[in-house]
Amino acid sequence: MRLLSLIKPSASAILIGACLAVTACERPAFMDDKRSSQTQRVAVRLVYDPLLRAYLRQSKKAFEKEVPTVSGGRRVELELIEMPALRAAKELASGKLKVEAWLAPSQALINYTNAHLINLGAPQTDCTHLFRSPYVLATRREDILELGAQAQLSWPYVASIINTSKGPGRAPILMHTHPLRAISGPGNLIQLAGLAFKQQDAPLSVADFEKGSQGLDQLRSIENMVSSYGDNDQDLLKRAEKPSSVFRPLVLTTEQQMVQFNLSSNPPLAAIYLSEGSAWQEYALCR
């Protein structure tokens, strides 16, 4: 099992980018009027999904250590606005939410926002992709050892032990977030669709999901294996963390969510990487 690490930008790269949305940031300059420098500040508002709370708070601390200023020595203050991603997309599109930057968790959500602009909604056009995270199956490390996994498992093997409940040890159960209620939900569905349509060489398209499609029937079959939907990844990971004498939870989630959960989990969860490949959740800074 390879050591998991979340690849991300330098400590304050995200927030420096948000600062640049307002004006060019500078290093602190000597100010003759200290009182003036304290009262004249520039606020930069950044909206983000609650799932990135821990990451953004750490980044904000690193940002503040940089003591960024703008022309005239004015100190830049960062205001973090926590809001579920879909709600943020709707409020940005309608113009109800006005911010200098948005940490968007998927290109699909950016496209949705731009396609539903009304009133004074601002187009999300200046977006920089920052990092991405693969989808994995998260579970307790000892459960992976019981399954005989090394670095990877194939989906047919995972599906067979879920379907028959005859795998080694406790019965494996599959869980993932609700496709329409959680920001990771659509990505989970895309990951499973990729497994359902794995026989075809071409990328997935809308036509693949038309009625009567063999791959669509296979996707329904996979979804029937899911024992529980969740409103967010962290709640499902908490369920996977608890020892059970009956079940072995396998949570389909992103590596980023698992790594974030492990910051406060003891022992930490581990990941199974499917040998067929993975969908990716991509994060972009729009300003």
CATH code: domain of residue 33: 3.40.190
Same domain, 51 and 164: no
Task: Map residue 29 onto helix, strand or coil.
Answer: coil
CATH number of the domain to which 250 belongs:
3.40.190.10
Nearest to 268 by CA among 240, 246, 244: 240
d(CA 113, CA 68): 30
Give 50's contacts (C-beta < 8 A, 6+ positions apart): 82, 83, 84, 232
Same domain, 99 and 119: yes
Same domain, 139 and 120: no
- Out of 125, 154, 173, a domain closes at 125
In degrees and rounded to multiples of 5, residue 94 shows phi and psi of: -85, -10
- Residues 281 and 97 sit within 8 Å (Cβ to Cβ): no
Q: Which helix (H) or strand (E) holds 65?
A: helix 53-65
Encoded tokens for 143? 């459960």
Q: Say what the pLDDT of residue 34 is.
A: 47
In degrees and rounded to multiples of 5, residue 38 shows phi and psi of: -80, -30
Q: Say what the pLDDT of residue 8 is.
A: 44
- Out of 125, 144, 165, a domain closes at 125
Q: DSSP character for 105?
A: S
Same domain, 93 and 223: no
Q: What is the pTM of this model?
A: 0.73
Same domain, 179 and 276: yes
Same domain, 121 and 139: no
Q: What is the pLDDT along the chain (287 residues), one digit of tens a residue?
A: 232 333 344 445 555 555 554 444 544 443 344 444 455 788 889 999 887 887 788 888 888 888 878 777 888 888 999 998 889 999 999 999 999 999 998 888 898 899 999 988 989 988 988 888 999 999 988 877 776 655 578 888 888 877 665 545 567 889 999 887 787 888 888 888 888 887 556 667 767 766 667 778 888 888 888 888 988 898 999 999 987 777 888 999 999 899 889 988 888 999 999 888 888 888 899 98
d(CA 192, CA 134): 13
